[in-house]
Structure 1
Amino acid sequence: MSDFARQQADFQRGILDGDDTVLAEILDGPREKRDVLFGVYRHAYGSRLVEAMRNDHELLHLYIGDEMFDEMAHAYVRACPSTHSNLRWFSQGLPEFLRSTAPYADHAVLSDLAALEKALNDAFDAADGKTVDLTDMAGFAPEVWSGLRFEPHPSASRLDLATNAAAIWLALKNDETPPDAAGLEQPARLLIWRQDVTPMFRELPPEEAMMWDEAANGIPFGVLCEMLATYDDPDSAAGRGAGYLHGWITAGLLTTVSVGS
């Protein structure tokens, strides 16, 4: 390894890991010692990561305020060193960090808010894909409908929240006073996707959430309707299934419909 490459590696370890080996390569300044001078770079690096987290989690930042957010973000920077060259991916682990790290783990709404913002960011950045149109469905004969299988759009994902974080997010987004944080007796089952260029979400009733999850796993329409029959009136199961399917198509949630075996 050349001296320059070694110095670069020492410098990087000094920034990322707090290794002081690089200080031997730095001269004291006329006014400040070398550790103070190098500390400027360390601080700037951490501050840039925190700034990226603010951009990715704008409403979580708004919800908890500058001081608490910066304290939390710097704790995340220390616990989860960046492994990506693209800042966009640095805060991907924030929901799990908040879920498992004191004192944030005592406030489940924080990890839920972070998870919702992460999902919306991921939907925005997801790959493009064609969307199924209602006219496409007209090409399938009635006798093959029971075998139809559906592929979600690349931007579509599901998220279950244990708190009213979705209501808090919506209030903050609309510049309204958010409700007090509260746990839910049943999880809020969210479907997140990108419509045109706008990431969005809506809460699903339990029956539709089950159908979406199973459809996303490749279960054909006929079996989905049989599963719906266990939720409510069996005689209307096929109609309910067709209604959910209609909503998914009009929202641009499906990229492929095919006849399976």
Structure 2
Amino acid sequence: MGLSRDPAPLREVQQAIQSYVLRGDRDAEARVLSTSRVDARTRLDIYAKGYRLRLLEALEEDFRAVRALIGEVAFQRLAEGYIDAHPSAHFSLRYFGQHLPSYLSHGEYSASPWLFELASFEWLLGEAFDAPGATLVSPDALASVPPASWPDMGFTLHPSVRRIELAWNVTRIRQAVESEEPPPAPERSEVGIPWLVWRQGLKTYYRSLEPDEAASLDRVREGATFGNLCEDLCRWVAEDEVAARAAGFLRRWVTDGLVTAVRLA
């Protein structure tokens, strides 16, 4: 883009152009040269439209199921409103859509609560995929812990591990979109269902949890030991069954690649 002969520092010119792109401020027009074929405002508009298009593409990529469920036209209108309400504040587009779930819980979109849940779920999938990697605990390493040390054994979960409660069939909607099939209509369950999201290698996984496993996983994230898990599980199973139940959870978590460290007191 050609700049005018205005001797203003380059930083001021850049800030003026940024203000035009983000907010439509007209001060930048005086700092950009017009040509015989394109005036300054048109040249700035090219940049502004290209910028908004890139933001739209980022939202389309992060919220593919939302887009498929409501359709192209409605999604573009949603995106335009979101772009105006939440200008990008980070140098990476990866974080641009972080407020879309909240945006969908207000105004006209609040009448469709499945959109909030679907967007929240899709954002967690992206977070899990982008989380840093970590060395995993192997089943053999877990088996090598002496039985007497198990009550005081603590755990560190993989950075990708996420938890969410879902009352709508948003996982089925997402699965249909991933399979390039028409998404099912939104359906609400009688009670919220706990879900786990995580990444193993380069693939993101998710599965539903029983209430006791969800509570145990949440307690592990808080720093609970194996002994703490056994105490808590008394709410769901008989006392003589809690150790086996907790051990079953732990073996599954290790097999699924959720555990990165075992701590012994």
How many residue pairs match? The answer is 259
Q: Partner residue of 2:171? A: 166
Q: Partner residue of 2:73? A: 67
Say if 2:247 is the partner of 1:242: yes
Shift of 1:250: 0.4
Equivalent AA in structure 2 for residue 14 of structure 1: Y
Q: CA contact under 8 A between 2:68 and 2:183: conserved in structure 1?
A: no
Rounded to whole Å, the distance in 2 between the matches of 1:2 and 1:37 is 19
Say if 2:114 is the partner of 1:99: no
Equivalent AA in structure 2 for residue 124 of structure 1: F
Say if 2:29 is the partner of 1:23: yes
Gaps of 5+ in 2: 1-6
Equivalent AA in structure 2 for residue 72 of structure 1: L
Equivalent AA in structure 1 for residue 104 of structure 2: L
Pick from 187, 196, 206: which aligns with 2:201?
196
Query: In the TM superposition, what whole-angstrom CA distance separates every residue of 1:114-138 from its partner, at most 9, and x where no partner exists?
Result: 1111111111111110111111112
Shift of 1:42: 1.6
Rounded to whole Å, the distance in 2 between the matches of 1:177 and 1:48 is 26
Q: Secondary structure at the match of 2:137?
A: coil
Equivalent AA in structure 1 for residue 10 of structure 2: F
Q: Partner residue of 2:4? A: none
Pick from 121, 128, 148: which aligns with 1:143?
148
Pick from 56, 72, 92: which aligns with 1:50?
56
Q: Partner residue of 1:90? A: 96
Identical pairs, percent: 34
Q: TM-score, normalising length from structure 1?
A: 0.92
Shift of 1:205: 0.9
Q: Secondary structure at the match of 2:198?
A: strand
Q: TM-score, normalising length from structure 2?
A: 0.91
Rounded to whole Å, the distance in 2 between the matches of 1:40 and 1:176 is 36
Rounded to whole Å, the distance in 1 between the matches of 2:73 and 2:33 is 35
* Larger deviation, residues 221-230 vs 36-45: 36-45
Q: 1:179 to 1:234 in 2, by over 3 A?
A: farther
Q: CA contact under 8 A between 2:17 and 2:44: conserved in structure 1?
A: no
After the TM superposition, which residues 203-242 of structure 1 pair with which residues of structure 2 at under 5 Å, given as runs? 203-242=208-247
Shift of 1:106: 1.5
Q: Secondary structure at the match of 2:185?
A: coil
Say if 2:142 is the partner of 1:129: no
Pick from 181, 184, 190: which aligns with 1:179?
184
Query: In the TM superposition, what whole-angstrom CA distance separates every residue of 1:153-201 from its partner, at most 9, and x where no partner exists?
Result: 1111111123221121122222333332123332221111111210110
RMSD, matched Cα = 1.8
Shift of 1:236: 0.9
